[in-house]
Amino acid sequence: MITFYHAPWSRASNMLWLLEELGTPYQIERVDIRAPGGVSEDYRSIQPNKKVPAIDHDGVVVTERAAICTYLCDAFPEAGLAPAIGDKMRAPYLTWLVYADSVFDPVLAAKAHGHEFMGSGYSYGSFSEMVANIEKTLSSRPHIAGDRFTAADTQMGGGINFGMRVLKTLPEKPVFLEYVERLAARPAFQRATEKDFEMAQAAGMVTG
């Protein structure tokens, strides 16, 4: 059984989508990352920085989104969400899984806080470089890693959707909008979105 440590409307939401795509049983353990006193110290035994997401799969704990995606897709190959070793898509698939965490997310967060580029002392590039890279890639193929859907789409696609429609920091370029529209038509995306909304509602995060 997979225990999924999750907070609604957070960086873990794309992992909820991945779990729905996998189609394997899982249970959600809600982590209140917005609690006034912070997350309970007990959770540090699962995630050392008390962040989400994290998973426990039959006693094996995995943290960090790229690692969780790689682990789960390799553990459940029948879902077809990860190109096999030797497949020409394996390299771009792994590249984009890591890019989502190591470049896209920190650059988007920096931009949202008013920073464009903070110099060569940081491990990621500028916002404009990131946008140009994604736009070039999605202009050449329907999915982020190639001609078919992979787990990398849950992370990059979910991030692009969030960046455009929630943060309103990522530009609504036609190729981004078309990409997100294709992904949003997937039943697993719709199920995950509904579950996340219901959890947010239960947590009192929905107003009006």
Residues 97 and 181 in one domain: yes
Within a domain: residue 208?
no
Given pLDDT bands bounded at 50, 70 and 90, which one contains residue 126?
Answer: confident
For residue 97, give the nearest of 109, 81, 108, 115 by alpha carbon: 81
Query: Does 204 score more than 90 pLDDT?
Result: no
User: If 0-12 CB within 10 Å is exposed, 13-18 middle and 19+ buried, where does residue 58 land?
Assistant: exposed
Given pLDDT bands bounded at 50, 70 and 90, which one contains residue 118?
Answer: low
Within a domain: residue 85?
no
For residue 77, give the nearest of 127, 113, 23 by alpha carbon: 23
Supply 7's token pair: 């907070």
For residue 28, give the H/E element and its range: strand 26-30
Residues 172 and 196 in one domain: no
In Å, how far from its chain's centre is CA 48? 19
Residues 76 and 52 in one domain: yes
Residues 36 and 14 in one domain: yes
At residue 13, the pLDDT reads 97
pLDDT in tens, 27-72: 999 999 999 989 999 999 999 999 999 999 999 999 999 999 999 9
Residues 147 and 159 in one domain: yes
- Residue 163 near residue 108 (C-beta atoms within 8 A): yes
- Residue 15 near residue 6 (C-beta atoms within 8 A): yes
Supply 186's token pair: 């997937």
The domain of 38 spans 2-80+189-202
Query: Does 160 score more than 60 pLDDT?
Result: yes
Residues 181 and 193 in one domain: no
Residues 111 and 153 in one domain: yes
At residue 137, the pLDDT reads 98
What total number of domains does the chain contain?
2
Given pLDDT bands bounded at 50, 70 and 90, which one contains residue 206?
Answer: confident
Residues 48 and 131 in one domain: no
pLDDT in tens, 67-96: 999 999 999 999 999 999 999 999 999 999
Within a domain: residue 207?
no
